[in-house]
Structure 1
Amino acid sequence: MTIHKTLEKLESLSNPLKVDFKRKKFGIIANKSLGIYHKDLKVLAKEIGNNNELALQLFDSGIYEARLLCSKIFKPKDVTEALMEKWVATFENWEICDSFSMGLFSKSPFALKKINEWSLREAEFEKRAAFATMSSYCMADKKADNKVFVAFLPLIKTAASDERLYVKKAVNWALRSIGKRNIDLNKLALSEAKQLLQQNSKSAQWIAKDAIRELEGEKVNILDYPRTIYRPSENKKT
């Protein structure tokens, strides 16, 4: 599909009423927004398939939903640091931040590097990108050792006092995701949460209480990554 035809398709799906609804309901404010729901973009992305060239053209169009579509059709393994920096600097709300963080950044070769770098950024959605990527990485890399996620905990501790809504929500999300990866990380995440309760910060205390409520809850779904099925050499020993 060409850039011209893709933009025509996006225009045909546009609905100004949805722009207003997303702003009022979800706090999503975006420049050059057509008013297209995420679910409709996912359908279009499936129709297009992976197409890096088209994805770059869509992003450069400046149209909000075209940029969201870019995050759905660019191949994660082809993402470069330069592209990640170009994209993250433009994020204007949590929706586009999370779409790129979950769909591309967490699956890219530079995920861990950017998590560390962006966690120290001042810009709200660049910092959120660090923790949204961190949260998604918990599921994206099923083979990673626990030490990778243990190294995330100091980043969470440092950022927990950030009172900005979309930062603290992402920090909380990351802590909960670590705690659901396996039983050992669950214990460590809970320990970290209980330490956050001691901080003189409303944000840190909210993050901690919410994480403890889920991670100690009866319905919490604790996985078992890295599972032995992903480690053939260990299976042979047993």
Structure 2
Amino acid sequence: MIAPSSSAADLIAHLQTLRSQENIAGMGRFGIVTDTALGIPTPQMRRIARLAKRHHARATELWQSGIREARILALYTTEPKLLTVGEARSWAAGFNSWEIVDAAADLFVKARLEQELVPAFAVDEREFVRRTAFAMIASAAVHLKQEPDETILAWLPLIEFHAKDPRNFVKKAVNWALRNIGKRNLACHEQALALARRLAEESDRTARWIGKDAVRELETAEVLERIAARTKM
């Protein structure tokens, strides 16, 4: 039985009972690193996290196990207010999968570490660490609703600078960050769309793809209607 009092060892033992070789094979087809995976789907992981509740020290133990699902559970159950920059950097050093990065990015934003980590991770040459920077921007644009637009828009030059990184997991995150900024509200939409249009005219293939894809979404009727509705609120 999973409970808030469950230890890291208890949780790992429970996760091991849920191992699915069929699911592991399926995950590989989505670019998920499965070397240490047990094949437990995300909805089930979220249910386990809700039962286990948050526990920072236990989350650290779960992360240190190296098991995919234990690490995901660590991200779901750590306490954002207790997470330090040093811990975030240490965890990021072990990132090897887009799904871990994207879950961690949400956590790091909840912990309000984005101002220190985004610029630091963006200049890091490791693919998944750099992806984390832009996944954090994408998350912040959506979740930090009370943050001034200027704070979010200040990341546009960083997006433009790294838009020529051709690595798959970086370019997709840069694109994601640009699109999410553009969907935040009217002011952000105007500036993000302007950048997207500039990138769409770049000679660099990666920057051009990022720009054209962002323009395509930011000019859809659905996005424009949603932004207009927010402006009226």
Q: Does TM, scored on the shorter chain, surpass 0.5?
A: yes
The equivalent residue for 1:99 is: 103
The equivalent residue for 1:231 is: none
The equivalent residue for 1:76 is: 80
Tell me the amino acid that sits aligned with residue 16 of structure 2: E
CA positional deviation for 1:224: 4.3
In structure 2, how many angstroms separate the alpha carbons of the residues matched to 1:216 and 1:35? 38
In structure 2, how many angstroms separate the alpha carbons of the residues matched to 1:172 and 1:215? 12
The equivalent residue for 2:151 is: 148
CA positional deviation for 1:30: 3.4
TM-score normalized by structure 2? 0.92
Tell me the amino acid that sits aligned with residue 83 of structure 1: E
- Where 2:193 maps in the other structure, the secondary structure is helix
In structure 2, how many angstroms separate the alpha carbons of the residues matched to 1:224 and 1:86? 39
For residues 120-159 of structure 1, the aligned pairs below 5 Å read 120-159=123-162
| Equivalent in 171, 174, 178 of residue 171 of structure 1 | 174
The equivalent residue for 1:209 is: 212
The equivalent residue for 1:113 is: 116
Q: Are the counterparts in 1 of residues 140 and 152 from structure 2 also a CA contact under 8 Å?
A: no
In structure 1, how many angstroms separate the alpha carbons of the residues matched to 2:185 and 2:82? 30
CA positional deviation for 1:19: 1.2
In structure 2, how many angstroms separate the alpha carbons of the residues matched to 1:187 and 1:140? 19
- Where 1:56 maps in the other structure, the secondary structure is helix
In structure 2, how many angstroms separate the alpha carbons of the residues matched to 1:141 and 1:99? 16
In structure 2, how many angstroms separate the alpha carbons of the residues matched to 1:38 and 1:99? 11
TM-score normalized by structure 1? 0.90
CA positional deviation for 1:139: 2.0
The equivalent residue for 1:13 is: 18
CA positional deviation for 1:76: 1.3
CA RMSD across the alignment: 1.6
In structure 2, how many angstroms separate the alpha carbons of the residues matched to 1:125 and 1:133? 12
Gaps of 5+ in 1: 229-238
| Equivalent in 36, 61, 64 of residue 68 of structure 2 | 64
The equivalent residue for 1:42 is: 46
Identity of aligned residues (%): 35
Tell me the amino acid that sits aligned with residue 77 of structure 2: I
Tell me the amino acid that sits aligned with residue 58 of structure 1: L
Gaps of 5+ in 2: 1-5
State how many pairs are aligned: 225
Tell me the amino acid that sits aligned with residue 212 of structure 2: K
TM-superposition CA deviations, 1:133-174 (whole Å, max 9, x none): 110011221111111122100000011001111101000100
CA positional deviation for 1:106: 1.2
| Equivalent in 5, 8, 31 of residue 3 of structure 1 | 8
The equivalent residue for 1:90 is: 94
Q: Are the counterparts in 2 of residues 30 and 93 from structure 1 also a CA contact under 8 Å?
A: no
Which runs of structure 1 show a deviation greater than 6 angstroms over 4 or more consecutive aligned residues? none
